């Protein structure tokens, strides 16, 4: 009888612990998945074409550029900084690539590398201005937002629009793989999730630390694996597995590993959590900031190249519009704190999926642009409000 009572109390404590974690924003991934499921259900009810293979394939192509840019944005946000120039940098990098390839006759591969180098150089400049001169990142990147848009106009010249011929550049968004590639990757991803979960549990138990129970690891593997297999099935029913999606997910996986498993990643979190404490601990804070700003602008350039590949053109409006808003809003919605030190790189993918799903669904419903902007802005405001409330809740728990 006492054993049964203890078991019931343990289960109740577990439920309260999960609710407390949700309140403090510690289960952001689960929250975002629930939000995505609700969004998809609403739009599917409103328009039965939403969950079709062709529309979800289009959705993955639409979010590839924004999601790639958001990876760099996540790294900057983890520092507690902001980069308002990523949209303009993406447009300029795409413009440099297009001019070199179409007008100067460079090979597509060299033109792509030049576009990425343009982004890296801008990011290096931003990092040096922030660390060497102590200028707030907000001011430096806001200035860049204007300057790099002007540079794009200068690069394009009187042409205004440059159409991209079929090449490696257009294949980035136009190439699709056979279903067997997707099924193979789904098996690999599922096995990797299970393997890393078990390895992490073993390490923590060996170190005498609290570890996730086997049931939670199995459940997480089943949810992620089920989602991946479901995505492959849906995409395979249309054109196949988009190369652009694989690029974005692959970059997310690489930098998720870097931020969680390497010294550089730990230094990013430490700097974002408390820069002064990180400096006293021997971390070269300025070098970390310069590296992160360089990486962020490089990802912005990569996103601009993917966007140009999808549109098969670069013009004077490349990188403008709501691209900056979406690149920042996505990670914040997916749980990356604007105050630094909290969040994961996977928030770039999940956030882009949330924002992209809302935009795609509103397009299917034929809503006007004014309504779309207001809804997107409202979602961002709600996400920032939730971030502030969860941060206050964590501070209260730390004090008590």
Band of pLDDT at residue 321, cut at 50, 70 and 90: confident
Mean pLDDT of 247-266: 93
How distant is the alpha carbon of residue 187 from its chain centre?
23
* Better pLDDT: 15 or 32: 32
Query: Mean pLDDT across the chain, nearest whole number?
Result: 86
Q: Average the pLDDT over each of 38-42, 166-170, 362-366, 394-398 and give the range with the smallest value.
A: 394-398
394, pLDDT greater than 70? no
Mean pLDDT of 146-155: 94
- Nearest-angstrom CA–CA distance, 72 and 78: 10
Band of pLDDT at residue 82, cut at 50, 70 and 90: very high
- Single pTM value for the model: 0.88
pLDDT reported for residue 373 = 79
- Nearest-angstrom CA–CA distance, 355 and 337: 17
pLDDT tens readout for residues 300-318: 999 999 999 999 999 999 9
Q: Average the pLDDT over each of 62-76, 242-256, 271-285, 338-352 and give the range with the smallest value.
A: 338-352
DSSP structure string for 94-145: HHHHHIIIIIS---HHHHHHHHHHHHHHHHHHHHHHHHHS---HHHHHHHHH
pLDDT reported for residue 397 = 61
pLDDT tens readout for residues 86-130: 999 999 999 999 999 999 999 999 999 999 999 999 999 999 999
350, pLDDT greater than 60? yes
pLDDT reported for residue 330 = 87
Q: What's the N-to-C CA distance of the chain in angstroms?
A: 34
215, pLDDT greater than 90? no
């Amino acid at each position: 009888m006492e054993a049964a009572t203890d078991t019931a109390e343990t289960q109740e404590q577990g439920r309260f612990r999960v609710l407390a974690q949700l309140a403090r924003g510690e289960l952001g991934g689960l929250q975002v998945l629930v939000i995505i499921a609700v969004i998809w259900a609403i739009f599917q009810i409103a328009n039965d074409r939403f969950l079709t293979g062709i529309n979800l394939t289009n959705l993955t192509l639409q979010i590839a550029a924004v999601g790639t840019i958001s990876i760099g944005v996540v790294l900057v946000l983890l520092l507690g900084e902001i980069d308002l120039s990523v949209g303009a940098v993406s447009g300029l990098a795409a413009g440099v690539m297009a001019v070199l390839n179409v007008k100067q006759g460079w090979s597509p591969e060299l033109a792509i590398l030049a576009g990425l180098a343009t982004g890296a150089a801008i990011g290096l400049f931003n990092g040096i201005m922030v660390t060497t001169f102590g200028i707030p990142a907000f001011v430096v990147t806001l200035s860049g937002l204007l300057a790099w848009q002007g540079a794009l106009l200068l690069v394009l010249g009187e042409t205004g629009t440059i159409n991209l011929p079929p090449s490696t550049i257009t294949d980035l968004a136009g190439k699709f793989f056979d279903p067997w590639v997707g099924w193979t990757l789904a098996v690999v991803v599922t096995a990797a999730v299970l393997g890393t979960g078990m390895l992490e549990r073993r390490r923590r138990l060996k170190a005498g630390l609290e570890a996730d129970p086997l049931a939670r690891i199995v459940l997480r593997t089943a949810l992620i694996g089920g989602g991946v297999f479901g995505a492959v099935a849906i995409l395979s029913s249309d054109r196949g597995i988009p190369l652009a999606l694989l690029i974005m997910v692959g970059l997310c996986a690489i930098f998720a590993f870097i931020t969680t498993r390497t010294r550089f990643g730990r230094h990013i979190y430490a700097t974002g959590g408390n820069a002064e404490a990180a400096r006293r601990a021997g971390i070269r804070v300025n070098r970390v900031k310069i590296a992160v700003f360089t990486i962020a602008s490089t990802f912005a350039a990569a996103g601009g190249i993917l966007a140009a590949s999808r549109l098969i053109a670069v013009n004077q409006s490349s990188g403008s519009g709501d691209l900056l808003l979406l690149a920042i809003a996505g990670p914040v919605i997916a749980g990356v704190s604007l105050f630094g030190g909290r969040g994961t790189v996977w928030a770039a993918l999940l956030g882009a999926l949330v924002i992209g799903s809302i935009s795609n669904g509103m397009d299917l419903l034929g809503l006007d642009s004014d309504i779309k902007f207001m809804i997107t802005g409202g979602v961002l405001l709600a996400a920032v409000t939730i971030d502030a409330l969860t941060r206050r809740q964590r501070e209260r728990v730390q004090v008590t």
